[in-house]
Structure 1
Amino acid sequence: MSLQLPDVVETYFAISNGGDLSQLASCFCSDATVFDENKTHEGLAAIEAWQHEVRQAFDFEVEPLQALQEQGQLTVLTHLAGNFPGSPIRLNQVFRLEDDRIRSLEITPC
């Protein structure tokens, strides 16, 4: 399924699927936050460390399925499959954007 997502969100998903981690700096605000697996990662260095750690632990692919824009946030329903316990899983990824960058991202199971 082809979705119309903001460029920065498309880039984020490309990075998540094995793209160049150095591009994270162009996606996130310097003081952005990511909430994933009951942990909050604050700031670009912590977000880069989170992505690096996840990649070291698992092989996976994320596929955006649906997107809903409302109340200043973009919610993307995704299918995540890989070599992690509980795979595959559907996740809601809630983006708040600011100046064409990700201000915050919250990832929760559906």
Structure 2
Amino acid sequence: MNLPKVIEDLVNAQNSFDSVSYANCFSENAVVFDEGKTHNGRPEILDWIEESNQKYKSVMKPLECAENGTGIVLSAECSGTFPGSPITLQFHFDIADGYIQSLKVTG
């Protein structure tokens, strides 16, 4: 499967629990929507992914990637230390200038 480089970098960072590399996939002003919360800017995104990595130890296995209007939707099997693991989630990305501008995670 051909993933855009920044999404491939994000998946690799997630699967190695590298929170700094994960956060660096996002623009300075990026926004993440996950579990009913909004995280604004790279510092908040770093805090969010660090907490998530410690809490869930989640890894991603990409299943499908498709363009959806102006964005990209990645379906991935996510497994970790959370109830119901593994689950398939959709990651809705808006990308510009090689960085993720927004990410919305849905079930």
State the 1:9 CA deviation: 0.5
State the 1:25 CA deviation: 4.7
Query: Partner amino acid for 2:92?
Result: V
Query: Partner amino acid for 1:58?
Result: Y
Q: TM-score, normalised by structure 2?
A: 0.93
Among all aligned residue pairs of Structure 1 and Structure 2, give the percentage whose two residues are the same amino acid. 36
Distance 1:25 1:39 in 2: 17
Query: Partner amino acid for 2:99?
Result: R
1:2-46 C-alpha deviation (Å, 9 max, x unpaired): x10111000011111124322235311100001111111110000
User: Partner of 1:89 in structure 2?
Assistant: 87
Distance 1:21 1:102 in 2: 15
Q: Could you tell which deviates more after superposition, 41-50 or 12-21?
A: 12-21
| 3-state SS in 2 of match to 1:5 | coil
Where do residues 15-34 of structure 1 align in structure 2 (5 Å cutoff)?
A: 15-34=13-32
Q: TM-score, normalised by structure 1?
A: 0.91
Where do residues 92-107 of structure 1 align in structure 2 (5 Å cutoff)?
A: 92-107=90-105
After TM superposition, where is structure 1 displaced by more than 3 Å over at least 4 residues in a row?
none
Structural RMSD (CA): 1.2
Query: Partner amino acid for 1:12?
Result: L
State the 1:58 CA deviation: 1.8
1:60 counterpart = 2:30: no
User: Partner of 1:39 in structure 2?
Assistant: 37
| 3-state SS in 2 of match to 1:87 | coil
Give the total of aligned pairs.
107
Query: Partner amino acid for 2:84?
Result: G
Distance 2:98 2:17 in 1: 19
